[in-house]
Amino acid sequence: MDVGPVSIPFFELEATDGAGRAGVIHTPHGDLQTPLFAPVGTQAAVKAITPKQLQQTGVTLVLANAYHLYLRPGDEQIAALGGLHEFMSWRKPILTDSGGFQVFSLAENRQVDSDGVTFRSHIDGSIHRLTPEKIIAIQENLGADIIMAFDECSEPHDRAYNEQALARTHAWAERCLTAKTRSDQTLFGIVQGGIFADLREQSASTIASMDFPGIAIGGLSVGESKQDMLAMLEVVGSVLPQGRPRYLMGVGSPEDLVEAVVRGIDMFDCVLPTRMARNHAALTLLGRLNLRNASFAEDTRPIDPDCTCYTCRTFTRAYLRHLIASREMLAASLLTIHNLHTLISLTANLREAVIHGHLNQFSDQFLTNYHKHRPPES
Amino acid sequence: MDVGPVSIPFFELEATDGAGRAGVIHTPHGDLQTPLFAPVGTQAAVKAITPKQLQQTGVTLVLANAYHLYLRPGDEQIAALGGLHEFMSWRKPILTDSGGFQVFSLAENRQVDSDGVTFRSHIDGSIHRLTPEKIIAIQENLGADIIMAFDECSEPHDRAYNEQALARTHAWAERCLTAKTRSDQTLFGIVQGGIFADLREQSASTIASMDFPGIAIGGLSVGESKQDMLAMLEVVGSVLPQGRPRYLMGVGSPEDLVEAVVRGIDMFDCVLPTRMARNHAALTLLGRLNLRNASFAEDTRPIDPDCTCYTCRTFTRAYLRHLIASREMLAASLLTIHNLHTLISLTANLREAVIHGHLNQFSDQFLTNYHKHRPPES
């Protein structure tokens, strides 16, 4: 265990506004201003764009997935090739997800016991065994700046399962802390507990009592209602210590980012902006545009007249619609650039709002405009 | 017809070395140094990369296809949206192919008569009629800097068909010249004649006798032997006037570029570099690499250690191989950047060789190295 006093703290809280927070995370590959949104590069690549384009959208942190990279090309191979930063040529901070969520959503024939999980690869059916110690070893081979504890991601509405899973998640968290050897990586614990306020509270207390410099909230945005998700954020937020960053895993729509920052979240990741781009949808602060729609065929406006991304500075909706109708993969690249830029700009604006003390005004205005154009999801 | 003395000539021949040539083409969107290679953006997009990336690879001229754009989204729609440069956001020179080749290779149920061609769209089966006048009107709507006459592209080995097609191609060339109205576009005639030296000679004389500021050679690299192709280039080259650029359509492998520049060709276009990129193959001056091959899994070299493209400056073969194995579309973008840069650099080096009078030395050395690594195609 290498947690303890160091010359530079991992996280500095710079300002608060209500429950909202602005801060900075220090990593060996540079500082991260929070709130932040991290795009997902599951297989050591953010789909459809280059690292140079990623950087030009303003992205500072990229997520990669330990489960996928362990299976292909292999964490040891990536270590032999110089680690993940070198492998994917992203010299800025990287976070690896531990694979807990993937094991419980993608892998086949999984068997969970108190020591770990045995499962079949979703790629080739081969049998694998993951334990907290193995997951840490994998993430140490990959070499990301921020790594995650191994957790069990359970169905959010099943109380009995959540109680059982929570005990394992907490035990595994402690084992991950013990297993960790590299001093240039920061390990986050993960709070679980489904949609049950008492379990979330218990989990937040337990994880916060351990020596994790950062704390993630997992198992949300996986099928529960928006109301339940926000309620859980409030419960967890009231328990977590102020001095550590709070990472809401798998959340990434504009309205969710705003609602969660208001409730004290500092970090987000989600496949939503990149996946929607490949499905022809553009995120805007006034809702989504499906650019496949024929109504855009003669529309000479950019996706969002207020957006400063390369796509909006360069191309019309009519051209993007043509690329989609013509099945040109360039459409996915251009929409990915726009969607990421939209979320990155939004987090930057939320940060400014916290620093200047008008977060509520910002969020009220944002949510009013947003829901005017699009009814809230249930 | 607007050909005639103008203040700046369309083409200036700057140097020759044997039959090899170096020159400059002046267009309303900038100058083009020759020899040059133009990537193909069939549907107003070079597949898998942005205009900014295209420019960074050194591309100066992009080809788009009148046949495809007439069918989708429609040439009138592109005109209403400000023309092709504005539509695809490529502010440098553009050349549109007339669609002759596409009508004779893609379209269904075509019926050719002396006035034009009737066919069914390969996209939706709708019936269309193209004549030389219509093809010019389409290309005037699109607004490329260089436009092409409508020609009949025949099977290269069928003498009777080639004789018949040649008569039509020559009549249509004259009608295209008459139909042209825009003074900011330059119309090229197209030499046909299959693999028959006398027909090629006759066609070159006929097209050269018309007022075309540039002359293309069509109907090659469509199934004939390499020997036949090179023989036709020699026949045609001996007939064509020195003062007009010579454009070999549809040719784009490194060895073909070298062989053709030695025989006096100034311009090339081909889908080869972009199509190969999507099929995981990297072009190098020592042959092709199929990066899907498992032998590259631990190869930390760039595709080509001498290449200065973004892909080679940034990524290893091992990473590219991982992207391909993981079906990441980023692989296609990165290989497209590399393949285009390889051909653009090669044409720049051929130009230097002509200017410095060592074209034969350059081509001998290139072809020796190339064939050492890869047997010549039959």
B152 pLDDT exceeds 80?
yes
Give the separation between CA B107 and CA B120, rounded to whole angstroms.
Answer: 6
Quote the Cα angle for A14-A17-A19, to 5°.
100
In whole angstroms, how large is the CA radius of gyration of chain B?
A: 20
Per this entry, what is the length of chain B?
A: 378
Q: How many CB atoms lie within 10 A of CB B351?
A: 23
Asked if A299 is an active-site residue, the reply is no
Quote the DSSP letter at residue A377: P
Q: Which amino acid is at A229?
A: M
What are the helix (H) ranges across A57-189? 66-71, 75-80, 84-88, 100-105, 132-142, 159-179
The H or E element containing residue B248 is strand B246-248
**Which of B42, B274, B322, B336 should be substituted to probe chain A, the one whose Cβ sees the most A Cβ atoms within 10 Å?**
B322
Q: What digits encode the pLDDT tens for the residues B92-117?
A: 999 999 988 888 888 778 899 999 99
Q: Which residues of A touch B (CB under 8 A)?
A: 43-52, 72-73, 77, 80-82, 87-89, 297-298, 300, 310, 314-316, 318-319, 322-323, 325-326, 328-330, 332-334
Dihedral sign of CA atoms A286, A288, A291, A293 in order = negative
Instruction: Give the gap in angstroms from C-alpha B49 to the nearest C-alpha of chain A.
Output: 6
Task: Name the residue among A309, A98, A264, A117 with its Cα closest to residue A190.
Answer: A98
Smallest Cα–Cα separation from A11: which of A267, A360, A257?
A: A267
Residue B319 and residue A49: Cβ atoms within 8 Å? no
Domain ranges of chain B: 11-269
pLDDT at res. B134: 97
How many beta-carbon pairs under 8 angstroms link A with B? 108
Identity of the residue in B82, B322, B328 whose CB atom sits nearest the CB atom of A47 = B328
Of the candidates B47, B50, B72, which has its C-beta nearest A325's C-beta?
A: B72
The string over A68-101, giving b where at least 16 C-beta atoms fall within 10 Å of a residue's C-beta and e elsewhere, is bbbbebebebbbebebbbbbbbbebbbbbbbbbb
Closest CA to B211 of B10, B38, B37, B20: B10
- pLDDT, tens digit (0-9, with 9 covering 90-100), for B17-51: 999 999 999 999 999 999 999 999 999 999 999 99
- CA-closest candidate to residue A187, choices A66, A76, A51, A41: A66
Tell me whether residues A47 and B334 touch, CB distance under 8 A. no
**Residue A49: closest CA among chain B residues belongs to which residue?**
B330
> What residues of B are in contact with residue A73 (Cβ under 8 Å)?
297, 318, 322, 325
Task: Spell out the residues 6+ positions from residue A275 whose beta carbon is closer than 8 angstroms to its own.
Answer: none
Q: Which of A51, A80, A318 sits opposite B81 (nearest CB)?
A: A318
Count CB-CB contacts under 10 A for residue A18.
Answer: 13
Residue to substitute from A40, A42, A50, interface B, most B β-carbons within 10 A? A50
Taking the C-alpha atoms of residue A104 and residue A117, their distance in angstroms, rounded to an integer, is 9
The helix or strand, by DSSP H or E, that contains position B312, with its residue range, turns out to be: helix B310-314
**Which residues is B216 bridged to in the sheet?**
B190, B247
Rounded to whole angstroms, the Cα distance separating B240 from B217 reads 11
Looking at residue B378, its pLDDT comes to 36
Taking an 8 Å cut-off on Cβ atoms, the answer to whether B332 and A333 are in contact is no
Contacts of B318 in chain A (CB under 8 A): 73, 77, 81, 87
| Alpha-carbon distance A46 to nearest alpha carbon in chain B (angstroms) | 8
Looking at residue B8, its pLDDT comes to 79
Q: DSSP E strands: which ranges in chain A?
A: 11-17, 20-27, 30-34, 36-39, 62-65, 94-97, 108-113, 116-120, 127-130, 146-148, 186-191, 214-217, 246-248, 267-270, 281-284, 287-290
What does the alpha-carbon distance between residue A20 and residue B354 come to, in Å, rounded to a whole number?
66
Q: Please report the pLDDT score of residue B376 as a whole number.
A: 44
Q: Under an 8 A CB cutoff, do B334 and A50 touch?
A: yes
Each residue's pLDDT tens digit, B62-84: 999 999 999 999 999 999 999 99
pLDDT for position B50: 98
Tell me how close the Cα of B95 comes to any Cα of chain A, in angstroms. Answer: 19
* B-interface mutation test, from A88, A322, A333, most B Cβ less than 10 A away: A322
Which pLDDT does position B374 carry in this prediction? 65
Helix axes of A359-373 and A254-262: crossing angle, nearest 10 degrees: 150
| Cβ contact, residue pair B50, A334, below 8 Å | yes
- Is residue B191 predicted with pLDDT exceeding 60? yes
Chain A CA closest to residue B123: A326
**Which residues on B lie below 8 Å from A334 (Cβ)?**
50
Percent of chain B beyond pLDDT 90? 90
Q: Mean pLDDT across the stretch B202-226?
A: 96
Determine the distance from the C-alpha atom of residue A204 to the mean position of all C-alpha atoms in its chain, rounded to a whole number.
18
Residue A109, token pair as written in the block: 């024939």
Instruction: For residue A367, count CB atoms less than 10 angstroms from its CB and return exposed for 0-12, middle for 13-18, buried for 19 or more.
Output: middle
What positions of B carry a catalytic annotation? 97, 269
Q: What kind of fold does domain A11-270 have according to CATH?
A: TIM Barrel (3.20.20)
Nearest to B45 among A82, A300, A328 (CB): A328
Q: Is the domain covering B11-269 a CATH 3.20.20.80 domain? A: no
Q: Do B48 and A300 touch (CB under 8 A)?
A: no
Calpha distance B229→B245 (Å, rounded): 19
ipTM comes to: 0.95
Do residue A87 and residue B330 have CB atoms under 8 angstroms apart? no
Please give the average per-residue pLDDT across B202-211, as a whole number. Answer: 98
Q: How far is the C-alpha of B197 from the C-alpha of A36, rounded, in Å?
A: 67
Q: How many residues does chain A have?
A: 378
Q: Which of A17, A256, A269, A304 is catalytic?
A: A269
Per-residue pLDDT of chain A (378 residues; tens, 9 = 90+): 555 555 679 999 999 999 999 999 999 999 999 999 999 999 999 999 999 999 999 999 999 999 999 999 999 999 999 999 999 999 999 999 998 888 888 877 889 999 999 999 989 999 999 999 999 999 999 999 999 999 998 889 999 999 999 999 999 999 999 999 999 999 999 999 999 999 999 999 999 999 999 999 999 999 999 999 999 999 999 999 999 999 999 999 999 999 999 999 999 999 999 999 999 999 999 899 999 999 999 999 999 999 999 999 999 999 999 999 999 999 999 999 999 999 999 999 999 999 999 999 999 999 999 988 765 443
Instruction: Choose, from A17, A75, A97, A256, the residue flagged as catalytic.
Output: A97
Candidate from A47, A297, A300 with C-beta closest to B329: A47
Q: How far apart are CA A21 and CA A34, in angstroms?
A: 8
- Contact in structure between A103 and A154 (CB atoms under 8 Å): no
